[in-house]
């Protein structure tokens, strides 16, 4: 997507044909730093430490991690070792396993001497597929925004999003932000309430950065503000991303999403979830019970990093020494609180029948 008029993606194969470039999202919004991944281990660490993050981007990074691994050791043992190294990088986004399974299926039958070339080709395909899928999500989500705009001609459509499900969370376009960018480009008057999204502040540091550089009107708000705005008619539509959707339509997403969905339900605000089909996990039948919720270091809660007035980056502690901390990175929103799932094949009801009808291939994948 655009950064001050120049087009960027979140991850790419470098001109040398083998190393992988990625925006180091830990440095935004204060510094735009590009990292160069040159090994499978680099890719695994980049995912684990959230240099790259966001379910679809985690998948794309893992795919390139497998390609980097095949340069190192294209044997059957090397393929198995690469899968095992990458699969444990983070537990919740199903896109990681989806991408690794895609790569393993593509590479297992290939002569080891040809695996590296095949791996890069498949990783490139997965990256391009993500962009195409997100363009589809953009078009399907746009219809929802247009419908609201038609009911309030000449007024602004106010959207709310949580965390970052933007182009930085994917290869390009984003999922929740894809309809937002398309609406903006079509000249629809929109404004986005951006949840800061404690503790890592993906909204404040990533979504606000994205929207600002793309020229989309937005306002950063503390996480606890959304309910108040909804009570006062200041939110027309909530759109969030997701890291895994269970077969019953339950949605796993960044911590705090469930609370936002409750507020939306209580105030009659449509609550949509945007997702690419690889995020559907038919092997999970009850999201609240079965989706593994990542717990991350308490340092993400106790410390905050920001820029001082004289431009230095500084980290400060905001929690008393000795106070225990819990840092659940995701929660699960029950399907009953979800108005619809915006996918590349349309806007679906959050239930098994609709998901199975639209994406039968995902059922087959879960059965393997």
Write the CB contacts of 122 (distance below 8 Å, at least 6 apart in sequence): 63, 67, 102, 103, 106, 107
- Among the listed residues 2, 36, 40, the one whose alpha carbon sits nearest the alpha carbon of residue 19: 36
Q: Does 341 bind ligand LNRAV4D5 (CB under 6 A)?
A: no
253 annotated to bind ligand: yes
Is the link from the previous residue into 228 a cis peptide, with omega within 30 of 0?
no
287 annotated to bind ligand: no
Q: Hey, which residues between 69 and 108 contact ligand LNRAV4D5 (CB under 6 A)?
A: none
Q: Which residues are catalytic?
A: 243
Token pair 């480009």 in the structure block, residue = 185
Residue of the chain from 53, 122, 198, 244 that contacts ligand LNRAV4D5 (CB under 6 A): 53
- Among the listed residues 66, 8, 12, the one whose alpha carbon sits nearest the alpha carbon of residue 41: 66
82 annotated to bind ligand: no
Token pair 């039958």 in the structure block, residue = 109
Long-range Cβ pairs for the range 147-150 (8 Å, 24+): 148/236, 148/237, 149/183, 149/188, 149/189
Phi, psi torsion values for 192, nearest 5 degrees: -120, 120
| Residue 362 tokens, joined | 């995902």
CB atoms < 10 A from the CB of 187, how many? Answer: 7
User: Segment near ligand LNRAV4D5 (CB under 6 A), from 54-62, 76-84, 115-123, 264-272?
Assistant: 54-62
Q: Does 54 bind ligand LNRAV4D5 (CB under 6 A)?
A: yes
Residue of the chain from 175, 207, 248, 277 that contacts ligand LNRAV4D5 (CB under 6 A): 175
Smallest distance from the beta carbon of 328 to ligand LNRAV4D5, in angstroms?
Answer: 11
What are the start-end ranges of the H helices in 175-309? 177-185, 202, 208-214, 226-231, 257-267, 287-290, 299-302
Q: Classify 123 as helix, strand or coil.
A: helix
Smallest distance from the beta carbon of 116 to ligand LNRAV4D5, in angstroms?
Answer: 28
Output 163 or 211, the one with its CB closest to ligand LNRAV4D5.
163
Q: Hey, which residues between 191 and 230 contact ligand LNRAV4D5 (CB under 6 A)?
A: 202
User: Segment near ligand LNRAV4D5 (CB under 6 A), from 47-55, 209-217, 310-318, 345-353?
Assistant: 47-55
Residue of the chain from 69, 169, 229, 239 that contacts ligand LNRAV4D5 (CB under 6 A): 169
139 annotated to bind ligand: no
**DSSP 8-class letter at 293:** P
Q: Does 244 bind ligand LNRAV4D5 (CB under 6 A)?
A: no
Residue of the chain from 1, 40, 46, 55 that contacts ligand LNRAV4D5 (CB under 6 A): 55
Query: Which residues lie near ligand LNRAV4D5 (CB under 6 A)?
Result: 53-56, 163, 165, 169-170, 175, 202, 240-241, 243, 253-254, 329
Binding residues for substrate, by number, are 53-55, 90, 202, 253-254
């Amino acid at each position: 997507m655009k950064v001050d008029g120049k087009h960027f993606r979140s991850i790419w194969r470098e001109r040398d044909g083998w190393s992988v470039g990625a925006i180091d999202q830990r440095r935004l919004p204060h510094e735009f730093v590009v990292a160069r991944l040159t090994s499978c281990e680099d890719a695994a660490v980049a995912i684990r430490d959230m240099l790259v993050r966001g379910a679809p981007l985690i998948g794309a990074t893992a795919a390139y991690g497998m390609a980097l691994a095949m340069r190192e050791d294209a044997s059957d043992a090397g393929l198995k070792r690469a899968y095992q190294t990458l699969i444990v990088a983070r537990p919740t986004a199903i896109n990681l396993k989806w991408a690794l399974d895609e790569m393993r299926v593509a590479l297992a039958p290939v002569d080891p001497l040809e695996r590296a070339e095949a791996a890069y080709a498949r990783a490139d395909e997965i990256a391009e597929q993500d962009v195409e899928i997100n363009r589809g999500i953009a078009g399907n989500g746009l219809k929802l925004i247009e419908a609201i705009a038609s009911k309030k001609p000449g007024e602004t459509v106010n959207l709310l999003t949580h965390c970052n499900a933007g182009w930085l969370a994917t290869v390009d376009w984003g999922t929740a932000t894809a309809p937002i960018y398309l609406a903006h480009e079509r000249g629809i008057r929109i404004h986005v309430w951006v949840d800061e999204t404690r503790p890592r502040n993906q909204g404040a540091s990533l979504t606000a950065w994205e929207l600002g550089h793309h020229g989309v009107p937005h306002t950063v708000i503390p996480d606890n503000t959304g309910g108040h705005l909804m009570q006062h008619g200041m939110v027309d539509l909530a759109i969030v991303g997701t890291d895994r959707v269970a077969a019953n339509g339950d949605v796993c997403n960044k911590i705090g999403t469930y609370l936002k969905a409750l507020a939306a339900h209580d105030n009659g605000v449509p609550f949509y979830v945007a997702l690419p089909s690889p995020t559907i996990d038919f092997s999970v039948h009850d999201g609240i019970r079965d989706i593994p919720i990542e717990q991350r270091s308490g340092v993400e809660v106790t410390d905050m990093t920001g820029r001082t007035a004289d431009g230095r980056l500084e980290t400060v502690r905001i929690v008393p020494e000795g106070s225990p901390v819990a840092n659940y990175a995701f929660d699960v929103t029950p399907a009953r609180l979800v108005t619809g799932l915006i996918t590349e094949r349309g806007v679906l009801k959050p239930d098994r029948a609709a998901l199975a009808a639209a994406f039968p291939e995902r059922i087959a994948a879960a059965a393997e």
